[in-house]
Amino acid sequence: MNPIFQKALKIIQIRPYSEGELRDKLKKQFPDQVEKIQEAIDELKYGRLINDDQLAEQFVNYWSQKQVGQMRIKMEARKKQLDEDLVEKILSESDWNEAEQAKKALEVKLRTLNEKDKYKRKQKMMRFLQGRGFSNGVIFEVVE
């Protein structure tokens, strides 16, 4: 059996990897064997051992439960080398609501926010939501 394919199998047994992540990981160990790496990845795709569509769906389901905004979800998807359009499509087809998630996140934050000055309190709430990756439109909607 091809040693690159064997190494790829060991890697994906630990956790699911996107095609891009797996390619990068294999390139570090086999830098001059780009064609064989692609062959191994194609074989894994054919055997349905790696599937970026399925991984993107699982990824979005996981991150949509974490009270973060769409920008944060997309940023995390980029780290995993998942197709941003695919992630956006999955989000739009789901019942995930960014404003609802922002409200939930803000409810938790308000329990610990001890700022008396209204202006400073509002600024802190907005920075908190920006840090969580919510869009400016949603932030203004929730904070007002």
The pLDDT of residue 111? 87
The total of other beta-carbon atoms located within 10 Å of residue 45's CB is 13
The pLDDT of residue 116? 82
Spatial contact of 40 and 8, defined as CB atoms under 8 Å apart? yes
Give the span between the Cα atoms of 3 and 96, in whole angstroms.
42
Is 139 found in the same domain as 115? yes
Is 57 found in the same domain as 20? no
Of 60, 78, 93, the residue that ends a domain is 93
Give the span between the Cα atoms of 80 and 98, in whole angstroms.
21
Is 137 found in the same domain as 102? yes
The pLDDT of residue 117? 85
The pLDDT of residue 115? 77
Four-CA torsion 140, 64, 73, 105, nearest 10 degrees: 40
Tell me the residue range of the domain where 113 lies: 98-143
Task: Measure the CA angle with vertex 33, ends 32 and 37; round to 5°.
Answer: 140
Give the span between the Cα atoms of 132 and 33, in whole angstroms.
40
The pLDDT of residue 26? 95
Is 9 found in the same domain as 27? yes
The pLDDT of residue 138? 95
The pLDDT of residue 113? 83
Q: Flag residues of the chain having pLDDT under 70.
A: 1
